[in-house]
Amino acid sequence: MGGKKQLNLEAAASIISSARINKTKLGEIKKDYRPTEENESYLIQNLVKNHLGQKGYGDQVGYKIGCTTPVMQKYLNIHNPCAGVIFESTVQKNFGQTKHNDYQYPGVECEIAVSLSKDMNKNNGLYTEASVVDYVDSVMAAIEIVDDRWDNYHNVSTPTLIADNFFGAGCVLGNRNKITDINLNSINGYMKINNKIVGSGTGKDIMGNPFKALAWLANLNVTAGTPLSSGQFVLLGSIVETKWVNKGDLVEIEIDELGKASIEFT
């Protein structure tokens, strides 16, 4: 990749990370700096990760995958999975609390998450929904916190959204459950906001099998030279359409066999 293009990637990363740090909204990035292909998006995303890590966000400890379910693909009108990273400073356990004004426009999603027991760095073949099971240590119910950091995200290209971590802003992880004897395809979950059920779904909604989403991410990262590592976790996708929240809202999710998680926006 030529020096000029690399300079543009750096410029795009600077624009995105500065907006995040300064809590300012973005319009679409100028054409000279705008990614047009997803491989460029993930290069920018990695540069943004480094910028934010140096500004107090901490190490990357996990990943999120967006648009893995029909409800989310329809909602965003994006029909392929899109990945982002999760920083240590943005992770809470079981019962979270966060300030509403720390975000531009926060939302929540109901997710199945897995933690990894082994590095996923094989180069001699594609990971499949069957083979990735051996790399999973445990499975959790999780709330993903998303943030609409755009003036109008409907006018922003998918590669640009990916470069900005595809709305990712943090998560709340529930208790860990051993994967043995849990059929992720058949488990059901729901989300409540202020004690009112606002959506529900099933594990099979995630690409027909949640492990298919993990295989997709593992293959993407091997190709990119950033393989998934033991100890990291992955949010596999939301089984409930994104719900945007107000100050004071209490969000709760529960997923069969996995348990609960909640977060309050103060």
Q: What does the alpha-carbon distance between residue 266 and residue 263 come to, in Å, rounded to a whole number? A: 10
**What's the DSSP call for residue 128?**
-
**What's the DSSP call for residue 181?**
T
The per-residue pLDDT for 125 is: 67
Q: Is 240 helix (H, G, I), strand (E, B) or coil?
A: coil
The number of residues in the chain equals: 266
- Residue 246 falls in which region: left (phi positive, over 0), alpha (psi -120 to 50) or beta: beta
Q: Which residues of the chain have pLDDT under 70?
A: 1-7, 124-125
Strands 136-147, 106-116: pairing is antiparallel
The per-residue pLDDT for 83 is: 98
Q: At what angle do helices 3-22 and 38-52 cross, to 10 degrees?
A: 50
First and final C-alpha spacing in the chain: 45
| pTM for this model (two decimals) | 0.95
Q: How far is CA 161 from the centre of its chain?
A: 12
The per-residue pLDDT for 8 is: 83
The per-residue pLDDT for 1 is: 43
Candidates 3.30.43.10, 1.10.3720.10, 3.40.50.12780, 3.90.850.10; CATH matching 58-265: 3.90.850.10
Summarised one tens digit per residue, pLDDT across range 192-238 is: 999 999 999 999 999 999 999 999 999 999 999 999 999 999 999 99
The per-residue pLDDT for 5 is: 52
